[in-house]
Amino acid sequence: MGRVGLGVAVGCAVVTCAIAGILVGKRVRSHRRWGRAVRVLREFEEGCATSIGRLRQVVDAMAVEMHAGLASDGGSKLKMLLTFVDRLPNGSEKGIYYALDLGGTNFRVLRVQLGGRRSMILGCQVERQQIPQNLMSGSTEELFDFIAMTLKHFVEKEGNSHAREIGFTFSFPIRQTSVSSGALIKWTKGFSIEDT
């Protein structure tokens, strides 16, 4: 091997060492960054951790507020509103039921076929409708016409004229006077209907 061959070999060795040094340096820096990221995440996790004692205090304070709200109207920051619900489903229900869910910017209509204890839910169809912005600040008549028409079109798809049970989740604070009637306390969730 002559001088030229030796020079090329040394040059290749130097370039190889330089590349290896760069790669090792990148890996070390990456490892350091990863270590820093892990430390930051651990610090964040520790900062967010809530002790069991503190969680018990929160539970106790909520229980006190709930009891105060149930004891007297306006007796708590938590609205403890009566629902007049006197029985809950027990799992033996059979048949087709409808449900309406109004809360926020979407309205949902559901048809659920219940099969009793052996096969709880046999089928479920859901239709979601975004509530048009103009109805969120229009009149109650316009809003409930929208709800009625959406339900009508959904029920017509079943093609059956049998009477069905229906539940209505109205996710706004109301002062109920019975299981099926009440008065709205105030609109929330972006609704600002004035004629209520």
- Summarised one tens digit per residue, pLDDT across range 79-90 is 787 788 888 888
Residue 43 placed within a domain? yes
pLDDT band at 11 (very low <50, low <70, confident <90, very high): low
- Domain of 19, in residue numbers: 1-49
Identify the DSSP state of 139. -
Structure tokens at 95: 């048949």
Is there a single domain that holds both residue 155 and residue 102? yes
Q: What is the pLDDT of residues 31-58, one digit of tens each?
A: 777 778 888 888 878 877 888 898 999 9
For 162-187, give the DSSP string.
---EEEEEE-S-EEEEETTEEEE---
* Residue 9 reports pLDDT greater than 70: no
Q: Which residues, 6+ apart, have CB-to-CB distance to 71 below 8 Å?
A: none
Task: Please check whether residues 32 and 56 belong to one and the same domain.
Answer: no
Establish if 86 belongs to a structural domain.
Answer: no
Residues 93, 112 contacting (CB under 8 angstroms):
no
Q: Which residues pair with 174 in a beta bridge?
A: 184
- Check whether residue 117 and residue 171 sit in a common domain: yes
**Residue reference for tokens 């996710």:** 171
pLDDT computed for residue 70 by the predictor: 84
- pTM beyond 0.95: the answer is no
Q: What is the pLDDT of residues 60-76, one digit of tens each?
A: 999 998 888 888 877 78
CA-based radius of gyration for the chain: 32
